[in-house]
Amino acid sequence: MLTRELPVYPYGAPAISGILKSTPADFQVSEELGFEPGGEGEHCFLLVEKTGLSTPELITRVAQDFSLHPRLVSHSGLKDKHARTSQWLSLHLPGKSLPARKSAGDGYRILRQARHHRKLRPGTHKCNVFQLCLREVEELPDQTIVQINLLTSRGFANYFGAQRFGRRQDNVKQALLKLQNRRLQRSRKSILVSSLRSYLFNQILTRRIGLGHWEKPLAGDVFMLSGSRSVFTDEINDDLLARYQQLDISSTASLYGEGRNQMADQAQAIEEQVFAQHEDITACLDRQGAKLQMRALRAVVGDFSYDYDAEKRNLRLNLTLPAGSYVTTMLEHFINLKDVS
């Protein structure tokens, strides 16, 4: 199937529904770098707050306001358009003083700026901090409370969210049709390649949940440290099982591509079954020269709290997620979402 399939969630189907992004203020997210810019170097880091702009649109406007080519403006994460967000950008300014600027532009304002010796790259930041308001939510039943407790204590299935597959959810189909076009813009090509790899990852995760191999390690797994992209292999023993239960480590699955894969045994067999069923996708990725990466099968929610207003039927949530995880994916473990943006 070439369109995105609905994920299988490990804690059962949601019992409630709610509306997401009624207003930008209902969806607030701020990017946390996890380090302080060094104070000197040829890159200028900007912490920018935006509303009603996608990250590519923000980059275009900042580049214009600073009289720079957009290629000289880098980002770490992509942030929602229909939201109030803050994120870091870096401007490459070798041997140059900071250009004159306004503290605010059309749809954005600059909160901080500092020099650093390296530019931002995708995934550089550590985490995202969310403040959310879900509207028209009925009283929370016991099932929902149980699901919330499970995902906060055991983690959640780290699916790529619907955003990864395009507005019409047809990026996989479009990728197979268009990636042979040499005139395709590099940014568009990157999006389509990412959609293919995300689709395969989601298929592997769905299969592992269905087989009961999600909340426990499997023979041949490659493990990832929480809060890190460091991976390793090890024998399954009492110490590893304890670290797994404490959410210190998680199993991973491949983001398909060229490279040495340390996976073996049962874990490898599951992936090979998925790849064999989607040879058109793997062949396309081979032609594009995609490079192997690993992604954790589960993600950990931090600093989670919620408050339900029965009179207004609003559910407010505060939480932190690691970079690369989708808050909509986390929410869909206990609530059916209607995004009205």
DSSP state letters, 160-219: PPGGGG-TTS-HHHHHHHHTT-TTS-HHHHHHHHHHHHHHHHHHHHHHHHHTT-SSS--T
Helix/strand/coil for 306 = strand
User: Cβ contacts of residue 153 below 8 Å, gap of 6+?
Assistant: none
Choose the catalytic residue: 26, 80, 239, 265: 80
CA 5 to chain centre: 18
DSSP state letters, 70-133: GGGEEES----SSSEEEEEEEEE-TT-PPPP--SEETTEEEEEEEEESS---TT-S-EEEEEEE
Q: Would you call 307 a catalytic residue per the annotation?
A: no
Q: Are strands 127-134 and 314-322 parallel, antiparallel or unpaired?
A: antiparallel
Show which residues are catalytic. 80
